[in-house]
Amino acid sequence: MALEDIVIGDRQTSISPMLAKHLFETSLDLILITDRRGQFIEISPSSMTILGYRPDEMIGRNGTGFIYPDDLDRTRNEMRQARRGRQTQNFETRYVHKKGSIVTLDWSGIWSESEQLHFFIGRDATAAKLMERLKNEFVATMSHELRTPLTSIAGALGLLVHDAEAMPASSQRLLTIAKANCQRLLGLVGAVLDLDKAESGKVVFVLKRIEIRALVERAIESNRGAAEGVGVRIGLNLISDAGEIRGDPDWLLKAVNNLLSNAIAFSLPGGEVAVGIEKRAGNIRVSVRDQGPGIPDEFKSRVFEKFAQADNSDARTKGGVGLGLSIVKQIVTRLGGEVGFANAPGGGAIFHVELPGWQHETEAASTFDATPIAPLCPEHEADVLR
């Protein structure tokens, strides 16, 4: 594979050497070619802009002289995996700029077995990572700063509502509305914090053996008051299975609660939210069906996105800001499961989460532990990026 060979999806196509040279020299991204040990063979001129080094200052040297030390082991492993046939995509690693600052690069690349060379393209993601960190810090700080005063206000309003019998009916009504709105704001702050924790990847899940039916019944009881408040019935299907999974009970309960809250919010008065549990080929699926309007076709691709709303108009009647389902996806994905949805026959929507059953998890762990992965070329593996 040469510079003039370009891989598009699963296809490899050729372009003229002149055009390949032009792309190499004018690319805003960093293009690297290294041998199996990580020694730089060719480097695009964009290295000056991104890392502060001229190509001739890097060619012939090893990547260990430029990669941030904490990322060396990850980079070595990624290159090993590339030589075993895995295409590198969105691999993030940090480099040290000539002036000493840290540069975050998002890499894609392939290994050419015939040429014994790695081909990489790296996009400078430093500014994007900084903005993401600042946003996360701002959201977390604002959420924590809001939670404390809102909790105090909600407590005071609760006491006033409890002792409001002597007040005029209009005053009681205003107090009730104020308390409800305060609780709604507290719920929003909690949702933002949950999403921030889940997206950060720093949440430590405490994995336990969970009887899924008991957890779902607990979630149903927690949401029964909210459902009855809007005239909606909620219950577990009688034919639901029992089963055990391996997961974090607190975070999984958050996920099921969010599915139920979503179903209640989009149900019509007099409707029903039906919850089911089903064993499926070693997995356990929890499904939640509502009898609402269903999911518009134009919204289906964004259902699990942050702040996604099926109705973004000023006149929409449903509360919330579209974080609940995004949190569900983050939690379930981190627990090794998957989420999905469909419009229900006869109207409404069905959302589900599917997680590996306990027996399935145990068997998978045993199989993995019994099958160590040997390096493809043991005689060379120790030389990579050394």
Residues 271, 265 contacting (CB under 8 angstroms): no
Exposure string of 125-163, with b = 16+ CB inside 10 Å and e = fewer, is: bbeebeeeeeeeeeeeeebeebbeebeeebeebeebbee
pLDDT digits (tens, 9 = 90+) for 181-202: 887 787 777 777 777 776 666 6
Q: At what angle do helices 212-229 and 249-265 cross, to 10 degrees?
A: 30
How many residues are listed for the chain in this entry?
Answer: 386
Residues 215, 248 contacting (CB under 8 angstroms): no
196 lies in the same domain as 245: no
133 lies in the same domain as 154: yes
* Amino acid occupying residue 41: I
280 lies in the same domain as 384: yes
298 lies in the same domain as 371: yes
Own/partner contacts of 293-298, CB < 8 Å, gap of 24 or more, are: 293/266, 293/347, 293/348, 294/343, 294/344, 294/347, 294/348, 294/349, 295/341, 295/343, 295/349
Residues 21, 3 contacting (CB under 8 angstroms): yes
The total number of structural domains in the chain stands at 3
pLDDT of 2 > 90? The answer is no
Q: Which of 119-128, 130-139, 148-157 has the lowest mean pLDDT?
A: 130-139
160 lies in the same domain as 303: no
Residue 244: which CATH number?
3.30.565.10
Highest mean pLDDT among 48-62, 138-152, 301-315: 48-62
Q: Of the residues 203, 224, 254, which one is the last residue of a structural domain?
A: 203
CA nearest neighbour of 251 among 204, 217, 286: 204
CA nearest neighbour of 306 among 286, 320, 327: 327
pLDDT digits (tens, 9 = 90+) for 226-270: 899 899 999 999 888 888 998 899 899 989 999 999 999 989 899
Rounded mean pLDDT of 165-178?
83
Structural domain range at position 296: 204-386
25 lies in the same domain as 120: yes
259 lies in the same domain as 348: yes
Distances 359 to 8, 43, 183, 228, 284 between C-alpha atoms, Å: 41, 50, 40, 37, 11
106 lies in the same domain as 253: no
Distances 302 to 232, 276, 295, 296 between C-alpha atoms, Å: 26, 24, 11, 11
Residue 62: which CATH number?
3.30.450.20
pLDDT of residue 386: 37
In this structure, what token pair is assigned to residue 60? Answer: 């012939």
Which residues have C-beta within 8 Å of that of residue 27, sequence separation ≥ 6? 44, 46, 121
pLDDT digits (tens, 9 = 90+) for 327-374: 899 889 988 899 999 988 888 999 999 999 887 555 444 433 333 333
352 lies in the same domain as 227: yes
pLDDT of residue 83: 92
Within the chain, where are the H helices? Answer: 17-26, 47-51, 55-58, 72-83, 126-162, 169-200, 212-229, 249-265, 324-334, 358-369, 378-381
119 lies in the same domain as 190: no
Q: Of the residues 78, 95, 124, which one is the last residue of a structural domain?
A: 124
pLDDT digits (tens, 9 = 90+) for 154-165: 888 888 887 777
Residues 103, 94 contacting (CB under 8 angstroms): yes
372 lies in the same domain as 321: yes
Q: Of the residues 156, 173, 203, which one is the last residue of a structural domain?
A: 203
Residues 91, 80 contacting (CB under 8 angstroms): no
Residues 52, 38 contacting (CB under 8 angstroms): no
227 lies in the same domain as 269: yes
Give every strand in the sheet of 30-35, ordered side by side. 40-43, 30-35, 117-124, 102-112, 88-96
Which residues have C-beta within 8 Å of that of residue 354, sequence separation ≥ 6? 280, 283, 284, 285, 286, 337, 338, 339, 340
